[in-house]
Amino acid sequence: MTDKWEAIDGESHKKRVCYFFDSDIGGFHYGPGHPMKPTRIRMCHSLVMNYGLYKKMEIFRAKPATKREMTQFHSDEYVDFLSKITPSNMNSFVKEQHKYNVGDDCPVFDGLFEYCSISAGGSMEGAARLSRDKCDIAINWAGGLHHAKKSEASGFCYVNDIVLGILELLRYHNRVLYIDIDVHHGDGVEEAFYTTDRVMTVSFHKYGEYFPGTGELRDVGISKGKYYALNFPLRDGISDDNYKSVFEPVIRSVMETYDPSAIVLQCGTDSLSGDKLGCLNLSMRGHANCVRFVKSFNKPLLLLGGGGYTMRNVSRAWAFETGLAAGVELAPDIPVNEYYEYFGPDYELDVKSSNTDDLNSLAYLDRVKRIVLENLRHTGGPPSAQMTDIPSMPIDAALEDPNEDEDMDDPDDRRPMRLLDSRRQADGELSDSEDEGEGGRRDHTSHKEFSSRNLGEGAHKFGMGVGILASSTGATHGAGPSGHTNVARIPAKSSSPAMDVDTPSSDSAAAEAVASSVVNAAVSTPPPSAPANASAAATPSSQTEASKAGAGAISKVAEAMEVDSEGSAKSKPEPPAPSS
């Protein structure tokens, strides 16, 4: 098959493009008469394949997003509702439908949750591949659903894949720029990042008695995010030249001032001329010029879909912009494909502007542009300075080669907790004292070798461990209304070598049993009716009695131990434990 494109002159270097498509996306249907048609994604893919663009990029079918992944932004209750509701049981969720704004513009249809999962999965995986330097440009035309809120569907959007994708980018990038060229304001994305300076949102949209009614020039963000939300309200019928005259200066200033390390571009095609719901007058090439200009900054770029309700024009524009991302310009004649009849009667790729009046005067555009640039100057330069390098690979990649020499790793690289927990302490690596090798307690091995001169000290430490030798206040820890003994509250011994330095030797197990029984008898337990702080309020006489009981217990421990000439401990037969 002859290639139906030509290379674009002036490309500094070839871009690595990842293109995400799931064939199931075209099988969903919002309902009869609804303007949103998921089939447009399949039509676009048919053009992409028949133009031969598969030779210029990698094509992936993303793993659908899970409920847990969606709850990184959306509320658990909302995601759970989306996963449960179907046309057959929707009458059981009347209250929830009203709460989550599902039912009118955002209807319930078969496979609703699967549709949302496919859309979100492509954007999240595209962002992940960008962050891991697997590609330079990632494309998901099934994404771009910018109206969905944390716990509310809106504007044909249920799950905000854009926010989920940006959150994925923020794991590796300090600052992310979001640009929206849909005819509608990207209210869901702006709202999600309205209080942070790590994401700057820039939206060019129709404003004034138009859905969603947000995106006023004065909406600039709050708190740390003040002046990091930029809105450029437009009037009906803007032309290619006027759109370019405001888009390029604003985006250039944003790039110079904010200096993002990644860009997300929502390419809603309802800003094209002739759209069923749009009111602007951009041609396909005027719309694609935005993609070309943003691409020229050579930043990791995530291209997403969005609005667009004249299917043949949507598929034309996105196919053309896919070619631009891959560094080629598609031929004007549409190749034969399964949707060929939709592109008649001219069967050409271009979408031309109409003769609609442009209500955006030069004076109006200059005034708005001046205000937007003034707001941008208030940001004061790039925030959130990063002092260390951001990892270029996922954190799990550190576990891929278990035989890798850790001494050769960069000490500034972050390591997963699982890798740190897998380390073990070698015997002799650390010491409790400077007289190493002289019989003292050093490590796991030498701790097991008791000497006669350390027996008294060891018994003293054992008494402290079980709570006999209390602090100067005379309090006995562990005795309370529950009636549990102190020995039951001794911390469990870890099996790891790093924790074995406090583990008594196996030869002294019998002696411990004797001491435990003596301690149980020596420590008095308040009756159930006593207050919880009874032991803390002990009288001086009771403190003296507790000290005597402790001393008696220590002496019985010493009697139970017989030290041979080699310094090893042996235990005598265990006497019967006295009843408490």
Residues belonging to the active site: 147
Alpha-carbon distance of 182 to 193, in angstroms, equals 18
Backbone dihedral region for residue 399 (phi beyond 0: left; psi -120 to 50: alpha; all else: beta): alpha
Q: Between 540 and 80, name the one with better pLDDT.
A: 80
Backbone dihedral region for residue 438 (phi beyond 0: left; psi -120 to 50: alpha; all else: beta): alpha
Q: DSSP state, 30? A: -
DSSP, collapsed to helix, strand or coil, labels residue 231 as: strand
Alpha-carbon distance of 138 to 127, in angstroms, equals 7
Q: Between 2 and 481, name the one with better pLDDT.
A: 2
pLDDT of residue 414: 57
Strand pairing class (199-206; 137-140): unpaired
What does the domain layout of the chain look like in residue ranges? Answer: 16-377, 446-571
- Residue 448's pLDDT band (cuts 50, 70, 90): very low
DSSP, collapsed to helix, strand or coil, labels residue 109 as: coil
DSSP, collapsed to helix, strand or coil, labels residue 557 as: helix
Nearest to 272 by CA among 316, 232, 230: 316
pLDDT of residue 408: 61
- Residue 382's pLDDT band (cuts 50, 70, 90): confident
Percentage of the chain exceeding pLDDT 70:
64
Q: What is the CATH number of domain 16-377?
A: 3.40.800.20
pLDDT tens-digit readout, 283-333: 999 999 999 999 999 999 999 999 999 999 999 999 999 999 999 999 999
Q: How far is CA 528 from CA 398, 481, 483, in A?
A: 54, 5, 8
Nearest to 362 by CA among 202, 231, 246, 282: 246
DSSP, collapsed to helix, strand or coil, labels residue 141 as: coil
Distance, first Cα to last Cα, the chain: 95
pTM of the model: 0.68
Q: Between 493 and 378, name the one with better pLDDT.
A: 378
The angle that helices 284-295 and 311-326 make with each other, rounded to 10 degrees, is 30
* pLDDT surpasses 70 at 123: yes
Residue for token pair 């999600």? 192
Q: Nearest 5 degrees, angle CA 69-CA 70-CA 76?
A: 110
Beta carbons of 269 and 307 less than 8 angstroms apart: yes
- The lowest-confidence range among 107-121, 194-208, 358-372, 533-547 is 533-547
Beta carbons of 19 and 318 less than 8 angstroms apart: no
Alpha-carbon distance of 359 to 234, in angstroms, equals 9
Q: How far is CA 450 from CA 427, 479, 494, 495, 504, in A?
A: 17, 31, 21, 21, 10
Beta carbons of 336 and 2 less than 8 angstroms apart: no
Nearest to 4 by CA among 290, 348, 351: 348
* pLDDT surpasses 60 at 456: no
The angle that helices 509-522 and 455-466 make with each other, rounded to 10 degrees, is 50
pLDDT tens-digit readout, 327-354: 999 999 999 999 999 999 999 999 999 9
- Specify burial of residue 210 (Cβ count, 10 A radius: 0-12, 13-18, 19+): middle
Alpha-carbon distance of 559 to 171, in angstroms, equals 62
* pLDDT surpasses 80 at 158: yes
